Amino acid sequence: MKKRLLMVSNRLPVKIAADGTATRTAGGLASALEGAELENEQIWVGWPGGAEEEFDDPEAICKQLNEQNTWPVFLSQAELDGFYEGYANSTLWPILHYMVERAKFSQEWWDSYKAVNQKFADVILSIAQDGDMIWIHDYHLFLLPELLRGTNMNLRVGFFLHTPFCSSEVFRVLPHRAELLRGVLGADIIGFHTSSYLRHFRSTLLRVLGKESEMDSIWYGGREVRLLAAPIGHNHLGFQKCMEREDFGEIVAEHREELNGKRLVLSVERLDYTKGVPQKLTAIHRFLKDNPEWCDEVIFVLISVPSRQGVEEYDQLTEEVQRAVGAINGEFGSVGHSPVQFLHRGFPPADLAALYALSELCLVTPLRDGMNLVAKEFLDCQREEIAGRPGVLILSELAGAAEELSNAIQVNPHNTEEVADAIARALEMPDEERKFRIEAMQRRLRLRHSGPWAQSFVEDLEKVPAREQRVAVFEMVPLAKEIAERWRKGATVGLFLDYDGTLREFVDKPEDAIPDSELPPLLKSLGDTERLNVGIVSGRPPSFLEKHLGGLGLTLVGEHGYRWLNEGKGEWELFNPHVDTEWREQIREHLEQAALLTPGTHVEEKQSAVVWHYRKAEPEFGLWRARGLLDELTSMAANLPVTVHHGKKIVEVSSLQVSKGAAVDHLMKYWHTDVAFAAGDDQTDETMFSLVPDGADFYTVKVGAGTTRAKYRTDTSGVRVFLESLQHELSL
C-alpha cells in the first residue's frame, strides 16, 4: 500500500465562512499536489486562519475539516502575535530576505515560535501512523522536523523552504540560529529552490554548528540528511484549465477593451517590501522621463494583492506606493490616460491568465524572492495569437527564478537606470528575438511545473530508508548482543576505542573534550570484566589519557599507537623502540610557517608526529590552507619514513613505523583475542579497520560520515548505546 502523505504548512488551504462552515480551497501547494498525480492518501495539517477565540465552535470546525482529511492547528490571538506576526514575519522573513535592518527580535516571540512548533508536532503525532511521510513547508516551522524525531514511529520527514536561505553572515545575526538549524536537521530531506540557497545553508551549518557537509547530504545525529535544490514550478494545469474555459475568449476581450489599444506592461505581486514595488515605480518614472514618446503608448498595470493589512509597516508601504503612482500619473498622464494603474486587490485566476496573455512585457523586480511564480505564470500564459506578438520578461537577478530563466532580461532591481533601459529595450525588441527567448523558457517550465516538482519530492521522501535501516544507532544493540553471546560462550573479547569524535563529540577546544560523568564508570565496568580487554586507542598524549581515563583498568594507547600503558604494569612503553624521528625538525619548521600565516592555527609536537591544527581558523580558509599543505608535505615526505594525513581539522605528519593498526594488531595477539571490536572516526582509525586479524573475528565501526573500510557506521551516541548494551548484556 502507498504510504500516507501529511502536508504541513502554516496556512491550510481552507476557507471558513461566517457561519463556521469550512471548505477546502485549491491554494498554491494544494494545486501543486493535484498536478502531481500521486496515489498516496493526502492529509493536511495547518492553521485554518483567524484566532481561535473568534470561532464559536472550534470543535465543530475541526470535525468538519477532519472529514475532508484536514487537521487544523488552532492558534490563539497571543500565538498569532508572537509566532506569526512576530517571530515568523518580523524576525525570520526579513532576515531570510537579507533585510537585516527590518528584523526585530523578542524573546517572547521566540518562546511563542517554539510553543507553536510544538503544537504542530502534537497534532501531527496524534494522527501519524508508522510509515507516514510528512512534508513540512516553510520558515514558520523550522523546529518541527526535530520535534517529530522524538517519537519511536517510523516517519519520513521532508522540509522545503520557500524563501531564500540567506548567507551565513546574515543568518548568524539570529540569536537562536543554532536551534533553528538543529530543528530543520531533524528532517530526512531538506529542499531549497536554488543551488545558491543550498550553498548558503551548507556554509551556515559549517560556521554556526561546525558541521561539514557534502553537496547533497550531511551526516547528522547518526543519520544521513539529504540536501537538494529543487526549484518549485507554477500551477501550469490550473492556468491551462482557465485558458480552456469556454468564456476565456470573452474575458480576454473585456480586458483588451480596457487597454484601449495601449501596450500592456504587467506586474503582479503581494504588496510586500521584498517585492520592490517602490523601486519599480522609480524605474518606471525614469523610463517615462527618458522615453516621452512611449507615455501615451504603454500602460503599466500593477496588480498588488493586499498583504498583512493592519501591520504598520505594510500600511506605510501601501501609502508610499499610492503616492508614487499618483506622482507619476500627475507628471506623465494626459486627459483620458494614466500610464500607471495600481490595482490593490486580487483577481480571479482566469482574469489573471487573460492579463498575462495580453501583456507585452512582465516586470518582475523583487529585491529578493525565494522563487517568484509570477514570472513562470506569465511565460506560460503567453499566446502569440492573443497578444499579437511574443512577450518579454524582465526579471530581477535577485529572484530564485533567475537561476532557471536565463533568457529573460535580467536586471538588478536597485539599479533604476538599468531597469528603465530594460523596459525600453524590451519594448523595442524584434519579434524574432522575443520568440527565441520565450520559447526556450516555456519548454522548460511547462515540463517542470508544480506537479512534477511535488511528485519528485514525494518520490524522494518515499525512498528514504525505513528508520531501522537508516539509524545506524539501532544496529549497535544487536551487535552488542552478538559479542556478548560469544563472550558467554568463552571467547576473549578486545574492544579498541578511539577517543575524540568516538567516545566524545568534537568540541572547539580539544582541552575541553573531557569525558562526561557517565563514561568512566561505564568503561571501568567493562574493563573489570574477565576475558574482556578495553583499549583506548587515541592520538592524544599520555598525560591527557592518564588524567582523564587512568585508573579504570583500561589499556591506554597514546599518540596514534606510539606508546601504551598497560595498567597492570603501571608504565608507558613504546610499541616500537626503534622509531626514526630525525625528520621532525624539518617538518616542524614548515608547519610553524603555515601557522604564522594562518590565524587560528597552531603546531603540536608529539614524539612520533607533528600536527598542524586548524580547528579555530576560519573554516574555509583553514581547509584551503590544509589542502595546500598536504600537497607540499606529500612531496617533502617522498623520501622520509613518514606518512601525511588530513584528519579532522588537522594535518598530521607521523612516523611510518607507528600506526593505530600496528598497535591494535600487537594488542590483539597479546590478549589472545577471539572477538575484537574497533570504533573510530578519522583517517588514522582506518589503519585499525584494514587489519585482517589471524584467528579473531573483527567488528569495525566508522563513527560519522566519510569513506571507510569499516563494516558498520554509527555516531558517538551509537557508540555509547553499544557500550551500554554490552555492559547490560554482560551483567545478565
Interface residues with ligand GDG (CB under 6 A) are 28, 162-163, 232, 268, 270, 303, 305, 346-347, 349, 352, 369-374, 377
> Cβ 373 to ligand GDG, closest distance in Å?
3
270 versus 470: smaller Cβ distance to ligand GDG: 270
**303: CB partners within 8 A, 6+ apart:** 266, 267, 268, 269, 343, 345, 346, 347, 352, 355
SS3 (DSSP) at 511: helix
At 393, which amino acid appears? L
Question: How many CA atoms lie less than 13 Å away from 454 in the CB half-sphere?
Answer: 27
CA dihedral over 182, 186, 189, 190, signed as positive or negative: negative
Q: Which is nearer to ligand GDG, 233 or 527 (CB)?
A: 233
Question: Which sign does the torsion angle of CA 254, 260, 266, 272 carry?
Answer: negative
Secondary structure (H, E, C), 47-69: ECCCCHHHCCCHHHHHHHHHHCC
- Of 420, 370, 322, which is closest to residue 164 (Cα–Cα)? 370
Strand segments (E) across 321-385: 340-343, 361-364
- CB nearer to ligand GDG: give 140 or 207: 140
Three cell numbers at 111?
A: 518562546
Which of residues 153 and 305 has its CB atom nearest to ligand GDG in the complex? 305
Report d(CA 387, CA 357) in Å as an integer. Answer: 6
Taking the least distance from each CB to ligand GDG, the nearer of 192 and 332 is: 192
342 three-class SS: strand
Distance, CA of 166 to CA of 214 (rounded, Å): 19
Contacts of 111 (CB under 8 A, 6+ apart): 82
Grid cell of 138 as nine digits: 516553510
Q: How many CB atoms lie within 10 A of CB 334?
A: 10
Helix (H, G, I), strand (E, B) or coil at 436: helix
Whether 192 and 201 have beta carbons less than 8 Å apart is answered as yes
Q: Is the dihedral of CA 410, 412, 417, 420 positive or negative?
A: positive
Between 193 and 226, CB nearer to ligand GDG? 193
Where do we find the cell 572516526?
Answer: 681
Instruction: Name which of 199 and 270 has its Cβ closer to ligand GDG.
Output: 270
Name the minimum Å distance from CB 95 to ligand GDG.
Answer: 14
The neighbour count for residue 13, using CB atoms within 10 Å, is 20
User: CB 362 → ligand GDG: shortest distance, Å?
Assistant: 11
Catalytic residues: 498
Nearest distance from residue 372's CB to ligand GDG, in Å?
5
Q: Rounding to the nearest 10 degrees, give the CA dihedral for residues 128, 130, 131, 134.
A: 20
**Least Cβ distance, residue 355 to ligand GDG (angstroms):** 9
- Which of residues 270 and 524 has its CB atom nearest to ligand GDG in the complex? 270
| Ranges assigned E (strand) in 167-248 | 189-192, 217-220, 223-229
Cell of residue 307, nine digits: 498583504
Which CB atom, from 340 or from 371, has the smaller least distance to ligand GDG?
371
C-alpha cell read off for 673: 583475542
Least Cβ distance, residue 163 to ligand GDG (angstroms): 6
Question: How many C-beta atoms surround the C-beta of residue 624 within 10 A?
Answer: 14
* Count of residues making up the chain: 732
- Kindly tell me which of 305 and 427 has the beta carbon lying closer to ligand GDG: 305
Number of neighbours of residue 71 by Cβ within 10 angstroms: 21
DSSP state letter for 276? -
User: Number of C-alpha atoms within 13 angstroms, CB side, residue 686?
Assistant: 10
